[in-house]
Structure 1
Amino acid sequence: MENRHVTIDNPLVSGILTQGGTFLGSNLLMLAINPVATRSYWSDYVSNPSHMGGVLYNSNQSLFGVIQRLAHQAVSNLTLTAVVAVTLLVGVTLAAFVGSRKSELAALITVGFTGDLVSPISWSHHLYWFVPLLIWLALGKDSPRLRGLSMVVVATACWASVIWLPPDNGSQTFHWTGLEQIAGNAYALFMVAFLMTIAIQTFRWNGDSSEVSLSA
């Protein structure tokens, strides 16, 4: 009897099936490990935003949080949604180009930072993509010229938890000074700076990884 193996040549379909299977498998695994918490999440928390903190809290480093803190919550949700939609489209498109012209790690970081920026809530403990960023800066052949300085700046800011330096009780985020705005939104600014730099580096890159600096 002849054995026949089904193969999927379309990379898009293959990717969708792989990601869907991974998502389903990981949730089934968590259901087996912690069924109570898993059922609670999918039956309540996933559609109930009341259990989360306020968007203005400085731990939220998404565009929603940063823009509303800077604008004193004067930006409409419609405008914010439009900004986020454009950011998502640009970020995902950029990641595709980065993946085809540079390293896969750089593309993954691009996707990760885009996701953190467009999410309504991106608490500081969600920003694990800074770890791959430091690895890429240290070991990536396509990392920028001033990789050493960039590593020191990013690692120091993360270690020092600079976003917690400005006052953050109640409406105090509306009264930050210029320096406090930079410190309180530092992680979001790093993510935006990375996306801008990787875009410049990707579309100008000719094989010389020293052409554009992350700190530029």
Structure 2
Amino acid sequence: MTILAPTAAPRAGRRIRTALSVIPLLLLAGSVAAAAVVAYRSTGRFWGDLAVYRTAAIAAASGDGRLYDATHQGADGIVLGFTYPPFAALALQPLAYLGAATGIGIWSAATVLALAAVVRASLRAAGTGTGPGAVLLGTVALLPVFPVAGHLQVGQVGLFLMLLVLLDLTGDPAGRWRGWGVGIAAGIKLTPLIFVVYLLCLRRWRAAGMATVAFGATVGLGFAWRPADSIRFWGGGLFDTARVTADPRTVLNQSLHGALARLGDTAEVTVVWLLLAVLVGVAGLVVAVRCVRAGDEFLGVLACATTGLLVSPAAWHHHWVWCVPALVLLAVRGRRAGDRVAVAAAALLWAALVASAAWTLIGLRDTDLHFRGLELLHTNLYVLVGLLALGWLALRPGGGRADHDDLERWAR
């Protein structure tokens, strides 16, 4: 006993300090949740996506409800339907047994904790300390950026999926279960499938296979649970973009598709968008592969995520929560290297992302579909930042330059 006591005491002390260190984060999550509930009960507005998730969960739980016929009409009059695979409705089933306000509170608190987990995973991937103080500071600093604030305001699922992908792809490249997070995330929302292509480009066959198997398992579970809805979704329902957005020109659609529609002031840009999306998709994946070959796995993941956002038919403002790990990486490496330009770039990007919340005023003025002159720069901000980021990585010494030999090796 006298030998073990001195060792046990420091361990117990460390556990207590660790437990106490998470209290501020829990208080932050609780405060945001309480504010969300108060805002919802006071206005009856917002949290539209979460309302759709809950509507779909209730329809599925009822047994005879058709998942893709259930819709939610918000206070603004907009009618939204469920657009994710049946497996997503299965994962969202707990919402069917919660009241709207309770669900908003729990979801908001969980979102803040997921944001903190993303900050911690990003700090680790950037090669710096992951102490509770740094995580709390990063979480508080990133809450106001519009992709995160907008994510909270609509009650989206993207932060949880991003966390799955980050934990999966920034760990040990030879890990036995690498790829499972990508597969599960894609089973809930299809956009993470681009990371399967990314793994194939890197010739990480095992990880790509694991992701494919995990994704296939989610599809199989969906068919076993809701066969008719699964046939409807996988039989063509996933291509019904009208259920996602009636007009791609809306400023909150920060994809190449949306940018082209705004530039031409027309929704009829499908052919041009498809050609450009293929070019950007290939170039972006080459850049991502080059980053990994240069020894920068984290940058490779971020380049792939940016590519996916750009080429998607619709990339809403809250889909750009990938700015969180990007800002963490830029700030950490700039500070570590004493690079004032990088630190200033991180601060400027943070300020621009916070200021982009002004897009909500455009919708309130009913001028969301027609833009001229300098407005086109402002309303395509995320697309421009994404393209500039990929362009910088493509020219980065030892990082992203894709020469002819690299393209040939990638194509093989």
Q: TM-score, normalised by structure 2?
A: 0.41
Classify 1:166/1:203 alpha carbon distance in 2 versus 1 (closer, same or farther; 3 Å).
farther
Classify 1:134/1:13 alpha carbon distance in 2 versus 1 (closer, same or farther; 3 Å).
same
* 1:63–1:188 Cα contact (<8 Å) kept: yes
Indicate the residue corresponding to 2:314 in structure 1.
Answer: 121
Structural mapping, 1:106-117, within 5 Å: 106-117=299-310
CA distance in structure 2 between the aligned counterparts of 1:61 and 1:177, rounded to whole angstroms:
18
CA distance in structure 2 between the aligned counterparts of 1:120 and 1:132, rounded to whole angstroms:
23
Q: Does 1:175 align with 2:371?
A: yes
More helix by share: 2
* 2:248–2:257 Cα contact (<8 Å) kept: yes
Q: Deviations over 1:60-98 (max 9, x none)?
A: 010010111012228642222111101101111111111
Indicate the residue corresponding to 1:151 in structure 2.
Answer: 346
* 1:65–1:121 Cα contact (<8 Å) kept: yes
Query: What RMSD in Å do the two structures reach over aligned CA positions?
Result: 3.3
Q: Does 1:92 align with 2:285?
A: yes
CA distance in structure 1 between the aligned counterparts of 2:338 and 2:269, rounded to whole angstroms:
37
CA distance in structure 1 between the aligned counterparts of 2:232 and 2:242, rounded to whole angstroms:
14
Q: Deviations over 1:104-124 (max 9, x none)?
A: 111111000000000010001
CA distance in structure 2 between the aligned counterparts of 1:143 and 1:56, rounded to whole angstroms:
41
Indicate the residue corresponding to 2:240 in structure 1.
Answer: 48
* 2:290–2:399 Cα contact (<8 Å) kept: no
CA distance in structure 1 between the aligned counterparts of 2:338 and 2:390, rounded to whole angstroms:
13
CA distance in structure 2 between the aligned counterparts of 1:13 and 1:89, rounded to whole angstroms:
19
Q: Does 1:17 align with 2:209?
A: yes
1:12 CA displacement: 3.4
Instruction: Choose 1 or 2 for highest CA Rg.
Output: 2
Q: Secondary structure at the match of 2:254?
A: coil
1:13 CA displacement: 2.1
Q: Secondary structure at the match of 2:304?
A: helix
| Residue identity opposite 2:387 in structure 1 | V
Q: Deviations over 1:123-167 (max 9, x none)?
A: 011112101101211224898942211111221222233460673
1:188 CA displacement: 1.2
1:23 CA displacement: 2.4
CA distance in structure 2 between the aligned counterparts of 1:177 and 1:113, rounded to whole angstroms:
26
Q: Secondary structure at the match of 2:362?
A: coil
CA distance in structure 1 between the aligned counterparts of 2:259 and 2:362, rounded to whole angstroms:
15
Aligned length, in residue pairs: 191
* 1:167–1:173 Cα contact (<8 Å) kept: no
Q: Structure 1: which 5+ runs fail to align?
A: 1-9, 206-216
**Relative contact order (C-alpha < 8 Å, sep 6+): which is higher?**
1
Q: How many percent identity over aligned positions?
A: 20
Q: Structure 2: which 5+ runs fail to align?
A: 1-201, 401-412
Q: TM-score, normalised by structure 1?
A: 0.73
| Residue identity opposite 1:154 in structure 2 | L
* 2:289–2:300 Cα contact (<8 Å) kept: yes
CA distance in structure 1 between the aligned counterparts of 2:270 and 2:333, rounded to whole angstroms:
39
1:42 CA displacement: 7.0
CA distance in structure 2 between the aligned counterparts of 1:143 and 1:61, rounded to whole angstroms:
32
Classify 1:182/1:163 alpha carbon distance in 2 versus 1 (closer, same or farther; 3 Å).
farther
* 1:58–1:184 Cα contact (<8 Å) kept: yes
1:47 CA displacement: 3.3
The runs of at least 4 aligned residues of structure 1 exceeding 3 Å deviation read: 24-29, 38-45, 140-145, 168-173, 202-205
| Residue identity opposite 2:210 in structure 1 | T
Indicate the residue corresponding to 1:69 in structure 2.
Answer: 262
